[in-house]
Amino acid sequence: MFRTRLLSGIVLVTAALALVILGGNILLAGLFVISMIGLFELYRVFHIEKSLLGKSGYLAAAVYYLNLGFPFIPETEMFVLGFLVLVMAVYVLKFPDYKADQVFTGFAGVFYVAVMLSCIYQTRMLIGGAYLVWLIFLCSWGSDTCAYCVGVLFGKHKMAPVLSPKKSIEGAVGGVLGTVLLTILYGWIFRTEMNLTLEYVFILAGISGVGAMVSMIGDLAASAIKRNYNIKDYGKIIPGHGGILDRFDSVIFTAPMICFLARLLM
């Protein structure tokens, strides 16, 4: 099991490296595929993955990604309202085929998975994005690793005893502090390439600290859905890791936070 998990993890990291380094439309296309798989996994929990409601969500995700690459929708609100009308039309015209929770999942799922993951691409497209984008993964996977290590060594107080008994407050603090320190190191190493002063290195560290905290919410949110519906993993597409949502649960939340804070502060 460990060997399978390790090998699939290496493949996953290699694929992520390739996509992010190449950037542009290749990254956009890769994120679209990942988003569609993740959306399918989420919809499967609510039994709408092959329904007209689910197909409406896939269509909306495709339109959203196409608009990112080749803009044709003047205002974001037009997309949101248009998709909402489509979902509600399916709800009322096919009534009583769908329950209200399925309808709202069909709508919110596109934003939870596809839109939030697209922020990896949007961060990559910023000035200095070739370096800023790695903060997303540093905050997500780096924070998780630091939190695990500190939690194993020093964890005594449960952070969410019902939802995730193994996670501790000490681990969470260690995850945030570890991410901040890793970001300071990262910023210092690449300060010339990123044209950073010492002040901006610490601003990056602050952004990563917030990103690390948000990544934990993403992790726990995905776990909460699984607990509510009594499932172990969202899928099996990544051997040893589960599905896309199992591996990218924290990235989904970290990506928009890093993107927005980088736009605001950098």
Condensed to tens digits (0 to 9), the pLDDT of residues 132-180 reads 999 999 999 889 889 999 998 898 889 988 888 889 999 999 999 999 9
- pLDDT tens track for 169-194: 999 999 999 999 999 999 999 999 88
- In the structure, what pLDDT confidence band is assigned to residue 265 with cuts at 50, 70 and 90? confident
Question: Average pLDDT of 6-33?
Answer: 88
- pLDDT tens track for 182-238: 999 999 999 998 888 889 999 999 999 999 999 999 999 999 999 999 998 998 888
- Mean pLDDT, rounded, of the chain: 92
Question: Average pLDDT of 83-92?
Answer: 98
Pair of tokens at residue 20 = 């992010």
- pLDDT at position 212 is 95
Q: How far is 249 from 205, CA to CA, in rounded Å?
A: 22
Angle, nearest 10°, between helix axes 143-154 and 198-228? 70
The answer to whether the CB of 32 falls within 8 A of the CB of 65 is yes
Pair of tokens at residue 155 = 């964890």
- In the DSSP assignment, the letter for residue 234 is S
242 strand-pairing partners: 238
Pair of tokens at residue 9 = 């993890």
Residue 2 pLDDT greater than 70, yes or no:
no
Separation in Å, CA 125 to CA 74, 82, 209 = 19, 26, 22
- pLDDT at position 155 is 86
pTM for this prediction: 0.94
Residue 5 pLDDT greater than 80, yes or no:
no
> How do strand 158-160 and strand 164-168 relate by DSSP bridges?
antiparallel
- pLDDT at position 35 is 97
Residue 166 main-chain phi, psi, to 5 deg: -85, -15
Question: Average pLDDT of 47-61?
Answer: 98
- pLDDT tens track for 91-124: 999 999 999 999 999 999 999 999 999 999 999 9
- pLDDT at position 1 is 56
Pair of tokens at residue 121 = 């691409």
Q: How far is 256 from 263, CA to CA, in rounded Å?
A: 11
- pLDDT at position 6 is 62
The answer to whether the CB of 143 falls within 8 A of the CB of 210 is no
Separation in Å, CA 195 to CA 178, 187, 191 = 24, 10, 6
- pLDDT at position 238 is 80
